[in-house]
């Protein structure tokens, strides 16, 4: 199983980090060991002073896909969830400035939060490009997005990624975050909601 994460897929978030719209999808990976156990708290690593939440729609791949055309990409999934792509922003900034890969800032243990369960897309209205989602931090909504605002659709992302990496059953795609990312602190509680349904609650330590 591999976890593919898309960067800068919402114009408002790309702008808040000072980036241009990408000309093609940008992706990186997290290892399986990054997945946070649903019963465990998220522990901020001691080597970062600025750990950010990024709430994202997550798509679960259900078949082998290699060079899949966008018009057939919908056959690769039927369930979705929500996740947090935790990011050590200070570390990412340093690595980027040095021209190095960002892996350390993105792939660490616990950095991939997932929904308690997958939800069939048809139970959410059936259109993957019209799903509302939000992240609450200590009872206040800090990120609120809709998949219709993606720069590249889920099907375009699958088509693009599958030109480089064969997608396999169980692979996950984190599809990018909308604006509103920010730091977490010990004692925070984060709750994710997809189409009004609670997906996860994470306690930060």
Rule CB under 5 A: which residues touch Zn ion?
A: 54, 85, 177
* Residue whose CB is nearest to Zn ion in the complex, by number: 85
Q: How far is the CB of 86 from Zn ion (least distance, A)?
A: 9
Cα 109 to Cα 32, 65, 123: the distances in Å are 9, 27, 32
Which residue lies nearer to Zn ion by CB, 76 or 112?
Answer: 112
Q: Which residue has the tokens 């219709």?
A: 148
**What residues contact 39, with CB distance under 8 A and at least 6 apart?**
none
Which residue lies nearer to Zn ion by CB, 105 or 128?
Answer: 105
Q: How far is the CB of 201 from Zn ion (least distance, A)?
A: 20
Q: How far is the CB of 83 from Zn ion (least distance, A)?
A: 9
Question: Left, alpha or beta for 8 (phi > 0: left; psi -120 to 50: alpha)?
Answer: left
Which residue lies nearer to Zn ion by CB, 30 or 193?
Answer: 30
Which residue lies nearer to Zn ion by CB, 16 or 78?
Answer: 16
Q: How far is the CB of 5 from Zn ion (least distance, A)?
A: 5
**What residues contact 97, with CB distance under 8 A and at least 6 apart?**
none
Which residue lies nearer to Zn ion by CB, 115 or 177?
Answer: 177
Cα 186 to Cα 142, 163, 205: the distances in Å are 17, 40, 4
DSSP 72: G
Q: Centre a 10 Å sphere on the Cβ of residue 150 and count the other Cβ atoms it contains.
A: 22
Q: How far is the CB of 56 from Zn ion (least distance, A)?
A: 6
Of 179, 161, 168, 166, nearest to 25 (Cα)? Answer: 161
Which residue lies nearer to Zn ion by CB, 7 or 73?
Answer: 7
Cα 25 to Cα 93, 117, 151, 162: the distances in Å are 20, 27, 9, 12
Q: How far is the CB of 6 from Zn ion (least distance, A)?
A: 7
Please give the structure tokens belonging to residue 113: 């939060």
């Amino acid at each position: 199983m591999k976890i593919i994460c898309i960067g800068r897929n919402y114009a408002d978030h790309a702008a808040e980090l000072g980036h241009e719209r990408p000309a093609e999808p940008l992706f990186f990976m997290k290892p399986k060991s990054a997945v946070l156990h649903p019963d465990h708290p998220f522990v901020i690593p001691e080597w970062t002073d600025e750990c950010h939440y990024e709430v994202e729609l997550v798509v679960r791949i259900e078949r082998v896909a290699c060079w899949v055309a966008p018009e057939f990409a919908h056959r690769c999934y039927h369930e979705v969830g929500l996740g947090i792509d935790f990011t050590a922003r200070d570390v990412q900034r340093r690595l980027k400035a040095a021209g190095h890969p960002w892996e350390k800032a993105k792939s660490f243990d616990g950095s991939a939060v997932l929904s308690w369960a997958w939800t069939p897309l048809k139970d959410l209205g059936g259109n993957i490009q019209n799903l509302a989602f939000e992240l609450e931090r200590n009872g206040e909504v800090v990120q609120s997005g809709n998949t219709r605002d993606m720069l590249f659709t889920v099907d375009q992302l699958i088509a693009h990624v599958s030109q480089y990496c064969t997608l396999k059953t169980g692979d996950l795609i984190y599809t990018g975050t909308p604006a509103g990312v920010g730091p977490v602190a010990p004692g925070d509680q984060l709750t994710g909601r997809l189409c009004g349904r609670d997906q996860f609650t994470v306690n930060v330590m």
